Amino acid sequence: MTPIRFFNRRTGSLETERVYGDFWLRLLYGPLPARPVLHAVAKRAFFSRWYGRRMKQPASRRRIAPFIAKFGLDCGEFADPPPSFATFNDFFIRRLKPEARPVDPRPHVAVFPCDGRHLGFPEAARVDAAFVKGQHFDLEALLGSPELARRHARGPLVLSRLSPADCHRFHFPADGVPSDPVFLNGFLFSVSPYALRRNLAYLWQNKRFLTKLRTERFGTVLMVEIGATNVGSVRQTHQPGQPARKGSEKGYFEFGGSALITLFEPGAVSLAADLLEHSANQTELYAPSGTPMAE
């Protein structure tokens, strides 16, 4: 399978991703048909709950130091030191120091809601070639609403993919008032490029939460948090109906890789030039939360 390459905005270079669970992802989503039993088990919620519980056991703590070393994480960014984490999941949902992720203060700028590898598209209705040409992107299925799909079909869309090595706290991209998150049930397929190259539909077949963020400057912004294999759960920590500041925490993913989609109304923003440039070449852009996504 082709290695996962992305452009790192921080370093200004093209890099190859070190993939957690690479062997199993290649086995499940590689060029040969996935092993039927293994594939059927991996997509089910009970498997992710079982694995999530393992990551909450005290014995999982021994995984923390090797994980930090393998992925070269900067412990100086952590709000709490590694010895303070009682389990691997405690480490996985770690908070970062505010100064590690400064939020762009300019009011005309919308920021990335999470650390991750991002793809941006000027029109949500034209995301078909995100990973493999010929796949159809079903916006109505993703949002669970024909009305919302029609309203946002011609507006920009950003797909943010979080690898297990990323901080899994996610935040608001702009000042606004969030609605109650709507839960849309589904499976828990992987959302790694290995999997999405095989079937883009995993994005709207998986369990997900949809929130409407009503803003003065950008209209209504939709945020869709997507669960994936081994994601124990998606936790919402914000207060629906209460004003939220740009960059403030919205929630977090428990153990596993996951994804978040941000959609804007037509004409509300123009996506960042580097995001559009690399996405046009089917290359993800790595950028941390709080940095410019659109304006």
The H-or-E segment that residue 38 falls in is helix 36-42
Active site positions, annotated: 115, 171, 258
Query: Per-residue pLDDT for the chain (295 aa), expressed as one digit of tens each?
Result: 577 899 999 999 999 887 654 444 444 445 554 455 444 444 444 444 545 566 789 999 999 999 999 999 999 999 999 999 999 999 999 999 999 999 999 999 999 999 999 999 999 988 866 666 667 889 999 999 999 999 999 999 999 999 889 999 999 999 999 999 999 988 877 777 767 777 788 788 889 999 999 999 999 999 999 987 655 588 999 999 999 999 999 999 987 668 999 999 999 999 999 999 999 998 999 999 999 999 9
First-to-final CA distance of the chain: 36
**Residues 256, 48 contacting (CB under 8 angstroms):** yes
Amino acid at 249: E
Give every CB contact of residue 58 below 8 A, 6+ residues apart in sequence: 86, 87
pTM of the prediction? 0.88
Reading the block at residue 241, the tokens are: 């109906």
Amino acid at 119: L
